[in-house]
Structure 1
């Protein structure tokens, strides 16, 4: 564990100006970013008395090996630079607002020619307008079901939309008047976009204007004796009012605000935010974050506003008013930054009385409840995670806690579709953005066995790590920087972001016992990697195997360290099984175009995209097929000959783009040949005429029982 005094900068060399600073570990990875009005005072506080620091702060300074800083001129610049560095480096010790669950939103894809209304989760995309988030996806669908009769916009996927246009018939929603059917030309692109814009206005809070307009149209229709139109408008008004009733009215003055509240202790904090638009609660979100320093509520408010409102393409998300329980120290600077993001003035204030104070109390109770529930989750308990890492360090006799653990597993069915997986745990939590999967290649003697496949995966992973450093001469010096270009190890100098496979783990865990561990140890020794710890976790008795040991290490069943290793092993197994099933399913489907000479995957996709289905492709002439880019006359004639050899199966198909029929099971399959899906598909193809023209799917279920490996 590094001693902070070894890299402490000379106090006289630190400026007294405002700025932003970065702590790096021994490999040059940025692990913490902070800002300060006075850099000298702030940085000296980390080194004055390390034993008196906050527990997470102490862990951070003892994990770091270097600190640097950048001086700025204004506090707004410091806020912006701090956020941009947090977003770029994703430091493990910074407060990171990540949802305690995935909240769905109602998304409108305005970038498309015919915008689509859909439920969407995950990061926001450019050109998409979001409403919500909602607590449940069914709440969005329920709202949409009510509003589509008034705003019949498109909700179908791109595939359904394209197919409806090809066959000239709309889907069910088009027939029941819950879609204006732009796919078949009932409305033009401009008319459909106007419907979508009216929908967005209603969702944005312009409900009274919409209701008044519909009431005027209903009255006009009644006066002109168009009673059917008036009745339809009456029903539309009723649908809009029912949709509005599902959202509670909290403010009568049409307030647009985000109401934020916190519940915290010395190590963690829970935050809840209610999104109020047009006086109604439109959505709610929650996070739980770790506190790397002794942060007050005001500091948490500042970090929240920077990360939630400071991203790209989120100007709409910044409300006119942000209600918080306590103002940060730099409230005026933060308010100025939010106003710049929104384009108009944003008020940041603490409610003192009335409805807004009552809503703040409600949000506070929600935060406290969420914090209590979080504390009951063992996997997210900071104390349990810290204990687990410490137990692994002590049991394996490591020099430092394994902050980054990589676990590997192999999955296959009797040597077919062999794949490998790599999952990453940082600070005891899964880091899914770092997961990787490998398609294991066959050797000269055929498919590799478990140990050979594991060795191949590890060799490829660590060769990538070594290649990433060899490309730019990234060799570390004593201070953790590179000796060639001055670029931190593993950082791409052109983008400033980490390279893939650039950082080695502190600990490699393999799923298996002594043979798997020995194979992994040989690979690391061949590559000259001696600073990465290695162990294996055997399933049967949950034993921990170390390289070169004749007997396993048995951790107590109540050990937090064993629990963490089990979670990593089970996650690697799940990830490998998922990839294996995808490859097996793809391999067991044979297309009628697969056997056509000179026709690769790209041309097959282009043909199906152009004609829409195999049925239409069979009916096409040579000249029509030649209109597809990349298809010449000889290839077109070959396609026509292959597809017209026997059209029996094609004529009996329903005309779908897949033309798929289930394969028949032969007597040999029923007698126990469950391990060879290739034979199953071949025999099924031979059992009936027209096999080359059809797409044959073998019986996947008979091989599903051997997936444990």
Structure 2
């Protein structure tokens, strides 16, 4: 490339580099322990690079770098440049929805408690985030009984001061009414600080203090005051009950989990303070470049904590994979918190169990994100048109069929066929195949495509040319069952899981049957390349393409369906193989035994008399079965 630095001009020191396009705009920022090794990797072998990295390099027109002293400085500079230049090829995390926070505006003369969303403001303490705003309001309503901090807007506060009369909350003792001078600014700030301490996890001292005051009031026979203090204690306890206890008291940790596919990733964080879950939050990210889980974690930690206040940071960060430069990341977070921060992967116990819970939430978040994205009609239409443009089709492929092969070392070979119509899964038309050939995936694809479209031709010839659906036997409706024929509808596009050889095998099967109106492509899993039959080079669809996203969803669904069928066949084979060693027991009797008992384990526990209840099994063979299975190790 014309902008490749001269040999020997790149230093071996740690630093941060920037790729720029022809207009001088920064398109990618990265860091490295050795700038020379890292930058040389971009220019060593272009064909070996990830397609997204290739796209970045072909877009770039120049590269520059800055040398720093340590890896921590490299992390700090990388983050500041990413924030400043917003490069298009860097990973950017975005909220998967708008999360509400409980905020206390400590920067104001009279701090206010409120629900806030969006960017954080200086001088404001934040708690959460919460899943729903109503959950915050319920908690605040309970706590205002004990900490009557103002919740009104600036306009209401000013108006109450002008007329000398507080709002309703002031009359029902859920506000200390600083607007009319019932408390001094210092007293009101002290209430706000106590409110923040309680929300921050320092809860026991408030409950103990109220219990002491309640006992003193009861001893002095001030029963009304004692009853009010009792109700205050119950209000605090109810507020605490809304936050589940998951770890030991005093544990402050952020628990982070990932769920990813080749194109996107979802991140979920549970905020644990004082052993209780104080809030949760989720992000999704488009994977603009090929990244490992550890690299995703590192980039996430930088973006999440780089500007966090010291009091908002935990003592411990639990992650699914350690960042590649974990020591540097830990040092950076420790500087940010001004106290020790530990980044580690939980191995056992309650923290490991909580990590698994957070991971399930991350998987659900990614699934919901995909559903929202797929359910948008405009997005689906755009995806289908992008596929048509990329594959040079005459029209958008409204019906897509995808095929995948699954086996274990050539045994129990199966294949799946999944159907997407108008960008949505049509599960009633999914089909599965037990593959007969043992000559590899390419031959398996050829066999399955041949069988599927031969059935299509047979059904079409049996009813004549396909006409609109009716019940006279002239369309794809079977007149005997009243249901659509299994292979009556041809697709506009056939997608196979694989690269050029698999796509060529599918095309060869269609050519042998004389079908020329069905397009074929292959989707290679490793690099998400689209291969057309007979082409030496793949079609590289843009990373942001909705069409690529749809093809990936179709391919992943075919893979899931094939794996499910393969596992069921393998399980059945294993069950039957356990009875192979029983003399005189043929396939029919083996199946009858498995149908009757459900599993080999239950059969092994049965007596000879119980086995004789199976049709076709006599006393002598039952004794043989018992003696043979009892002799095996369970």
So what's the TM-score if we normalise by structure 2? 0.59
**Corresponding residue for residue 466 of structure 2:** none
Shift in Å at residue 265 of structure 1? 2.1
Q: In structure 2, how many angstroms separate the alpha carbons of the residues matched to 1:66 and 1:210?
A: 61
Q: Whole-Å Cα distance in 2 between the matches of residues 384 and 218 of structure 1? A: 67
Q: How does 1:505-654 map to 2 (within 5 A)?
A: none
Task: Give the CA deviation at 1:304.
Answer: 1.1
Give the 3 Å change call, closer, same or farther, for CA 15–234 of structure 1 in structure 2. Answer: same
Partner of 1:156: 152
Whether 2:302 is the aligned partner of 1:316: answer no
1:86 aligns with 2:82: yes
Q: Distance in 2 between matches of 1:393 and 1:164?
A: 65
TM-score (norm 1): 0.53
- Please state if 1:349 is matched with 2:347: no
Q: Deviations over 1:647-686 (max 9, x none)?
A: xxxxxxxxxxxxxxxxxxxxxxxxxxxxxxxxxxxxxxxx
Question: Residues 23-60 of structure 1: CA distance to partner in whole angstroms, max 9, x if unpaired?
Answer: 11121111111001111221122233333322322222
| Distance in 1 of aligned mates of 2:231 and 2:358 | 36
**Aligned length, in residue pairs:** 395
Distance, in Å, in 1 between the alignment partners of 2:343 and 2:244 is 24
1:325 to 311, 320, 324: 320
Task: Give the Cα separation in 1 of the matches to 2:52 and 2:380.
Answer: 11
Conserved in 2, the CA contact under 8 Å of 1:170 and 1:181? yes
Q: Helix, strand or coil for the counterpart of 2:278?
A: strand
Distance 1:384 1:352, change over 3 A: farther
Provide structure 2 residue ranges, at least 5 long, that are not aligned to the other structure.
Answer: 393-544, 548-634
Q: Structure 1 residues 387, 28: CA separation in 2 closer, same or farther (over 3 Å shift)? A: farther
**CA contact under 8 A between 1:384 and 1:560: conserved in structure 2?**
no
Say whether residues 1:210 and 2:206 are aligned partners: yes
CA deviation profile, 1:441-471 (whole Å, cap 9, x unmatched): xxxxxxxxxxxxxxxxxxxxxxxxxxxxxxx
Distance change in 2, residues 1:61/1:261 (3 Å): same
CA deviation profile, 1:364-420 (whole Å, cap 9, x unmatched): 11111111222234379999989877988999xxxxxxxxxxxxxxxxxxxxxxxxx
Checking the alignment, whether the CA contact within 8 Å between 2:21 and 2:60 is kept in structure 1 is yes
Q: How do 1:269-308 and structure 2 match up within 5 A?
A: 269-308=265-304
Q: Counterpart of 2:95 in 1: which secondary structure?
A: coil
Q: Equivalents in 1 of 2:261, 2:140: separation in Å?
A: 40
Q: Tell me the secondary structure at the aligned position of residue 156 of structure 1.
A: coil
Rounded Cα–Cα distance in structure 2 between residues aligned with 1:92 and 1:109: 35
The RMSD of aligned alpha carbons is: 2.6
Structure 1 residues 309 and 320 mapped into 2: Cα distance closer, same or farther (>3 Å)?
same
C-alpha separation in 1, matches of 2:355 and 2:322: 14
Give the CA deviation at 1:342. 0.3
| Residues 112, 149 of structure 2: 8 Å contact kept | yes
Does 1:248 pair with 2:244?
A: yes
Residue 165 of structure 1 corresponds to which residue in structure 2? Answer: 161
Could you report, residue by residue, the CA deviation over 1:240-279 in whole angstroms, capped at 9, with x for unpaired residues? 1111111100012320000001111222211111000110
The SS at the match of 1:149 is coil
Q: Runs in 1 of length 4+ with deviation above 6 angstroms? A: 379-395
What are the superposed Cα offsets for residues 459-515 of structure 1, whole Å, 9 maximum, x if unpaired?
A: xxxxxxxxxxxxxxxxxxxxxxxxxxxxxxxxxxxxxxxxxxxxxxxxxxxxxxxxx
Q: Which residue of structure 1 aligns with residue 134 of structure 2?
A: 138
State the alpha-carbon separation in 2 of the partners of residues 387 and 33 from structure 1.
33
Matched, 1:358 2:340: no
- Cα 1:387–1:62 change in 2 (3 A) is farther
Is 1:368 aligned to residue 363 of structure 2? Answer: yes
Give the corresponding residue for 2:187: 191
Cα deviations by residue, 1:140-182 (Å, 9 ceiling, x for unpaired) = 0111111111111000000000000011111111111110110
**Could you tell me which residue of structure 1 aligns to residue 174 of structure 2?**
178
Q: Which residue of 2 aligns with 1:23?
A: 19
Aligned to 1:237: 233
Does the 8 Å contact 1:374/1:380 carry over to 2?
no
Residue pair 2:374, 2:380 contacting (<8 A) in 1 also: no
| Pair 1:306–1:380, CA change in 2 (3 A) | farther
C-alpha contact 1:378 1:384 (8 A) present in aligned 2: no
